[in-house]
Amino acid sequence: MPLSSLQRRRAKLEKSVLVKAYHINLKASGGKIGDAVIKVDKGRSREVATNILKKFKSNVMNVSTRINSEHNVSAQIIYNDTAELHDLIESIKSIPYVNVNSLQWSELR
């Protein structure tokens, strides 16, 4: 197949269904990334998600609300070491309406 045909097909896919995205090279930056999954009381998921995004804007990659019965806010967080991670988790637990006993953490690799 000629190169021009491949380029034309790729361009068509990029315009219709593919989304270009940038990713942080964590190995180069020395950082780590993980997910905080949080149960929020009294239906305040959006308020808590907004609060997390504002309070930790230099560490939060994204934050989203979920519709389920267990955990209703998820935040993807970048951190440098365990001390910073500990401070972030404790600060998230101090946000009003966060159920402190149900915050879950998992590191991505």
pLDDT at position 21: 84
Q: What is the pLDDT along the chain (109 residues), one digit of tens a residue?
A: 899 999 999 899 988 998 888 888 887 888 999 999 999 998 899 999 999 999 999 999 999 998 887 779 999 999 999 999 999 999 999 999 999 998 999 998 7
pTM of the model: 0.76
Given 3-state DSSP classes, what are the helix, strand and coil percentages for the chain, each rounded to the nearest 5? 40, 25, 40
Tell me the three state secondary structure of residue 107: strand
pLDDT at position 77: 95
Q: Write down all domains in the chain, each with its CATH number in brackets.
A: 22-108 (3.30.70.920)
